[in-house]
Amino acid sequence: MGCAGEGRLSSYTYRHYPYRRPPELDGQTARRPVVIVGAGMAGPTLALLLAQRGIPTVVLDEDDTVSVGSRSICQAKHSLEVWDRFGVAQRMVDKGITWEQGEVYLRDKPIYRFSLQPEPEQKFPAFVNLQQYYVEEYLFERCLTEPLVDLRFRNKVVGVAPRDDGVAVEVETPEGGYKLEADWLVACDGVRSPVRHMLGMLYPGEVFHDQFLIADIRLLSELPRERRFWFYPPFHPTNSVLLHRQADDVLRVDFQLGRDADAEEEKKPENVDRRLRQMFGPDARWEHEWTSVYTFTCRMMERFVHGRVIFAGDAAHVVSPFGARGGNSAIADVDNLAWKLALVLAGAAPASLIDSYCSERRAASRENILNSTRSTDFITPKFAASRALRDAALALARDFPFARALINSGRLSVPTGHAGSALDTPDVDQDWRRGPAPGHAMVDAPVGGDGEGWLVDRVGSDFTLLTFADRNLAFEHLPQRVKGLCVSGDGLARQRYDARPGTSYLIRPDRYVAARWRRYDPVAVDAAVRRATGDG
């Protein structure tokens, strides 16, 4: 039962992708619309989103394989909806573990269960547990079949020189160095972002010193499907433990160790096995996949856009791991950015539209950091009074619903809003009881007869005017870039959008609501589209 070392897992074989000689080494130079640095989850996703809009990209990664070890595992519904646009989401769902229930324990007794998807009947589940290396593998394979994505392995960025009208990039390869000229550079190169360091950008934030042990194991017996979180379990009585099931019958177990633990001692196989034996019992058998001890920080750049250099994902912001907000937030970043960058490159929007990426995603990052920090403070209370308050809420939660609302074992990732964005048209009608307001993500629902389709599949890749009517409408005078979509009849879609005959929603390309009205008005729609594209 020895612990796996870095770079090898018993359940996953790492493929090394081939290095290909860049044409620039042979004197073939051409200015590129977009260069993306980093091929984690965010970089390839951005490249594929831009390819859908006809924008070619070069993706540079200094490695030649997917992420090594145990990283992001909880892929949220809103990320799956993004990946579904270029055909890889269902593969992730099929490979991963779908879970919609969570259970919280105090010592050895469950105190309550909760649902992660309170509104059922949507195309994708709330979460699929799938290891990051599978996500990246599927994205890489899709990129390698896309003519507009030039994914270059073992191409290390060693210099970045911003200019007024673009960016010059220096790249090192096994065969020598070359230079690239780009209109825009997007840094998706992770929490240690070499691009950020090259440009001397600050990354302020808070460091948390509590330590956690990750033990990824293949448990050779019956496996739980739901997320489980223990406070003061008998097998680890002074702290907390989190358990998730992943693909390939792998379990992730997180043991809270405290700030004074000796990380090197805790990682020794005999000490990991001792903890697991106490947890699973004397008859359990397992194989080790990955073991590490980690601490974490919450950080955010002051600005995500610096001239023609844009930062996304962990390069721009990082949160604690509680709530699956890191990787999912990175996908939301590039989904927000892709359509704006495509419009600017096509000359259909001013360059200032990119500034709205910064303002909207900084607002989302602040919300993620706030929720993540609150989870951290509950799981690892810093003061005797806060621990006493936490323990009181835990003691009451089994019998009193109000106490359950106080328990925070990780508020799980949902699409963050950016209410008040300059791109949104405020409500004119004030009688909305529910439905996604401007600045919030659209909500999926079944549409058509006998559950034959999903609303999220009917929305276009550009702007969509979603109108509820008793019969199909012939949309007149819609702006050229807007697709008209009529939903007729009763059903969940009408309920979730608080719809009456004539109710209309303008949906942005990233599936966020830009405006809504109680009746279809082509003049108002045109004004809202111009505002949402930075021309308002």
| 132-164 pLDDT tens trace | 999 999 999 999 999 999 999 999 999 999 999
Segment 258-290, tens digit of pLDDT: 889 999 999 999 999 999 999 999 999 999 999
Token reading at 144: 């390698």
Question: H helices of 290-429, where?
Answer: 326-345, 353-379, 384-397, 401-404
- Angle at CA of residue 276, ends 272 and 280, nearest 5°: 175
Is 284:215 a contact under the CB 8 Å cutoff? no
Neighbouring CB atoms inside 10 A of 225's CB total: 11
pLDDT in the model for residue 513? 97
Of 323 and 77, which is predicted with more confidence? 77
Token reading at 141: 């394979």
Token reading at 504: 């209309």
Angle of helix 42-52 relative to helix 132-144, nearest 10 degrees?
A: 30
Q: Which residues partner with 513 through β-bridges?
A: 507
CA-wise closest residue to 366 among 409, 319, 331: 319
Angle of helix 77-84 relative to helix 42-52, nearest 10 degrees?
A: 40
Strand, helix or coil at 103?
Answer: strand
Task: For residue 450, name the pLDDT band (cuts at 50, 70, 90).
Answer: low
295: pLDDT strictly greater than 90:
no
CA 502 to CA 496: how far, in whole Å? 15
Is 466:474 a contact under the CB 8 Å cutoff? no
CA-wise closest residue to 164 among 32, 343, 348, 306: 306
pLDDT in the model for residue 118? 65
Q: What is the pTM of this model?
A: 0.94
The rounded percent of the chain whose pLDDT value lies above 70 is 96
CA 93 to CA 126: how far, in whole Å? 11
CA 536 to CA 529: how far, in whole Å? 8
Is 36:186 a contact under the CB 8 Å cutoff? yes
Strand, helix or coil at 60?
Answer: strand
Token reading at 526: 């045109």
Instruction: Give the contacts of 289 (CB within 8 A, at least 6 positions apart).
Output: 4, 9, 10, 11, 70, 216, 217, 218, 250
Segment 79-127, tens digit of pLDDT: 999 999 999 999 999 999 987 788 999 999 999 888 777 678 899 998 8
Angle of helix 326-345 relative to helix 353-379, nearest 10 degrees?
A: 180
pLDDT in the model for residue 410? 72
CA distances from 173 to 47, 60, 62, 176 (A): 21, 10, 8, 5
CA 221 to CA 207: how far, in whole Å? 38
Tell me the pLDDT of the chain averaged across its residues.
91
DSSP string, 212-266: EEEEEEEESS----SEEEEES-TTSTTSEEEEEEEGGGEEEEEEE--TT--HHHH
